[in-house]
Structure 1
Amino acid sequence: MQLNHLFTLGALLLPAFAAPSEVIEERDPMTRQGKSHQKPVDTKYFHEPGGNDELGHYDIRYFKESVSYEERGDTLHHLIRSYLTVFREKNIETWVAHGTLLGWWWNGKIMPWDWDLDTQVSASTLTWLGENLNMTFHNYNWTNEDGTEGQREFLLDVNPNSAERVRGDGMNVIDARWIDVRNGLFIDITGLSETNPSMQPGIWSCKNFHRYRTRDLYPLRETVFEGVPALVPYSFDKILTEEYSARALTKTSHEGHHWVPEQKEWVRQGNLHSRKPHVPRSLQTEENPKSGLGNLLRVL
């Protein structure tokens, strides 16, 4: 596998100053006198083609059409593998979070009903990304089992509002994205920071009100996710139960999928009685499948 950092696309950077708000004039039908008001400013940086569970998970700049279940699984598989590999090669600390962490807990893989992926970085790492790797494209190359080769391109885009570490109007809770430029599917990257170190030392939070103690995050644990080295928080079980409840670690049916212990896989319920059910690449059973816990190697 070879990953090459290509170039910085300066042309896509936001202008230093936003354009003035559009002024709209209205006339009162009774007095025929004009009055004007400002059109609300769109403060959101990342935009999606829609707001539902499906269309809300594409970057609008690269969206063409909704992808199939199979293509979605394949895209997410290569998204996370490329992201984790590039960050590790560049010695950038990052770890899997939220639903992606829950998928790791079950079997070290992406849950098949997920539309996007989540990772976290520290605020200092986020600042470094913005200063050094913002708007950079990365080539990801791999060799398939049959000897054929594949290549895809990904964009790392850091939200210019990421330096603001409070929620604000809630339009920019996502600090950065790793985007597949073929179809617009992405990884959401959020930064964690001690927003009130004098009153709440050791409490890390993102803009979406997720809070963690330093001892629950660090030291990060070395593991494997989707077949490549990855990091997870130290107290991953506590973090998962606080965010999703303990039932999320035992519930075996969800979103039209059922957990099959013999395969250590989530399988679409319509495929349960098929002799050879189709499973996306990101969910294909390994020769000796292991759970995320089984992949845990050591504490850094």
Structure 2
Amino acid sequence: MKFSRYASAIASAALLAATVASPIQGETGLAPPDEKREEENTRDPVLNKYFHEPGGDDQLGHYDVRYFHGIVSYEERTDTQRHMIRAYLKFFNENGLDTWIAHGTLLGWWWNGKRLPWDWDLDTQVSGATLDYLGQHFNQSIHHYVSEDGETKRDFLLDVNPWIWERERGDGMNVIDARWIDIRNGLFIDITGLSETHPDTNPAVWSCKNYHRYRTSDLYPMRESIFEGVPAKIPYAYDKILIEEYQEKALVLTEYEGHDWDPSKKEWIKTQAQIEKEAKEEEERAKKKAEEEAKKTE
């Protein structure tokens, strides 16, 4: 399919976003102390990993092991992520800190201003300067959230990786710079910082530790929009960023991960086959859990 056919669709998405000036902040000062420079050359990659998950697949790889009590249902994940991103964006807005949604979360915004219902986690980005500030002032802080109707109350942990000073990939064990974690079940938002890592040889190119690179003009000036009912910032060249990361088909494909796009409702609807598949998986998990409990009582 020619992407030009869908230019009008992209333009309509842009109507959600008003351009605002928000220049990238300068160098962060994220430099390691001498002892960390020495440790970098001798550390054990596995032992030095800061964030840990209960497993490495699509499901278990998206929980913080400290707060994991089992895989949650589709409905609980939906509820958790909606309130989690609202709480996150509210915190950043109230404290005047820059952040914007990224990766699959940005793709969800493109479709209907909401998360993709099959996404296991949410993704945001911050500037290196903001990342530094979070580490100095908000690390290990608990944030209390109350929904607008007063019916939902949650606590979230903002946890900053102590290896944020390392702006290259390193051993690959600490590519996630921070997380916003629901301490009830361990689901989280991944927060990655963007830094101008080689200003002399590659100026105006900002990258994270997972090899995502953006030019200043791709990011700024940021656009103001709405995500899950809360004010959110969107990269200026969001269409370019999404196509480079997911290809054009991600902006037009209407069947994905057991969901169909309903244009009349502007929602992704779970297919009957997916409903039956999840019911079977839930039945198998319950059976396995019952067997494990039975073994404990023998």
For the criterion TM > 0.5, the same-fold answer is yes
Q: What is the rounded CA distance, in whole Å, between the counterparts of 1:39 and 1:94 in structure 2?
A: 32
Native 8 Å contact 2:177 2:193 kept in 1 = yes
Amino acid at match of 1:113: W
- RMSD of aligned alpha carbons: 1.9
Q: What is the rounded CA distance, in whole Å, between the counterparts of 1:150 and 1:208 in structure 2?
A: 34
Cα 1:65–1:126, aligned 2, differ >3 Å: closer, same or farther?
Answer: same
Amino acid at match of 1:208: N
Partner residue, 1:33: none
Amino acid at match of 2:57: N
Cα 1:265–1:40, aligned 2, differ >3 Å: closer, same or farther?
Answer: closer
Partner residue, 1:185: 187
Partner residue, 1:252: 254
Q: Map 1:57-206 to 2 at 5 A.
A: 57-144=62-149, 149-206=151-208
Look up the SS of the partner of 1:179 in the other structure: strand
Look up the SS of the partner of 1:61 in the other structure: helix
Q: Give the Å deviation of 1:142.
A: 1.6
Look up the SS of the partner of 2:145 in the other structure: strand
Look up the SS of the partner of 1:103 in the other structure: helix
Native 8 Å contact 2:138 2:158 kept in 1 = yes
| Structure that is richer in helix per residue | 2
Query: Structure 2, unaligned stretches of length 5 or more?
Result: 1-34, 37-42, 276-298
Which deviations, in whole Å up to 9, do the C-alpha atoms of 1:218-254 show, x marking residues without a partner? Answer: 0000000000000010000000000000100000000
Partner residue, 2:238: 236
Which deviations, in whole Å up to 9, do the C-alpha atoms of 1:182-238 show, x marking residues without a partner? Answer: 000000000000000000000000000000000010000000000000001000000
Q: What is the rounded CA distance, in whole Å, between the counterparts of 2:187 and 2:44 in structure 1?
A: 30
Q: Map 1:252-271 to 2 at 5 A.
A: 252-270=254-272
Amino acid at match of 1:205: S
Amino acid at match of 1:200: N
Q: Give the Å deviation of 1:39.
A: 8.3
Look up the SS of the partner of 1:243 in the other structure: helix
Look up the SS of the partner of 1:149 in the other structure: coil
Q: Map 1:208-247 to 2 at 5 A.
A: 208-247=210-249
Look up the SS of the partner of 1:74 in the other structure: helix
Q: What is the rounded CA distance, in whole Å, between the counterparts of 1:272 and 1:49 in structure 2?
A: 25
Q: What is the rounded CA distance, in whole Å, between the counterparts of 1:177 and 1:150 in structure 2?
A: 21
Q: What is the rounded CA distance, in whole Å, between the counterparts of 2:45 and 2:265 in structure 1?
A: 52
Q: Give the Å deviation of 1:139.
A: 0.3
Amino acid at match of 1:100: T
Q: What is the rounded CA distance, in whole Å, between the counterparts of 2:120 and 2:81 in structure 1?
A: 8
Look up the SS of the partner of 1:120 in the other structure: strand
Q: What is the rounded CA distance, in whole Å, between the counterparts of 1:92 and 1:63 in structure 2?
A: 29
Cα 1:99–1:40, aligned 2, differ >3 Å: closer, same or farther?
Answer: closer
Aligned structure 1 segments of 4 or more residues deviating by more than 3 angstroms: 38-41
Native 8 Å contact 2:83 2:147 kept in 1 = no
Q: Give the Å deviation of 1:43.
A: 1.3
| Structure that is richer in strand per residue | 1
Q: Give the Å deviation of 1:149.
A: 2.0
Query: Structure 1, unaligned stretches of length 5 or more?
Result: 1-16, 19-37, 274-300
TM-score w.r.t. the length of structure 2 is 0.76
Which deviations, in whole Å up to 9, do the C-alpha atoms of 1:104-141 show, x marking residues without a partner? Answer: 00000000000100000001110000000000000001
Partner residue, 2:54: 49
Higher Cα Rg: structure 1 or 2?
A: 1
Native 8 Å contact 2:98 2:130 kept in 1 = yes
Look up the SS of the partner of 1:102 in the other structure: helix
Amino acid at match of 2:48: T
Cα 1:41–1:70, aligned 2, differ >3 Å: closer, same or farther?
Answer: closer
TM-score w.r.t. the length of structure 1 is 0.76
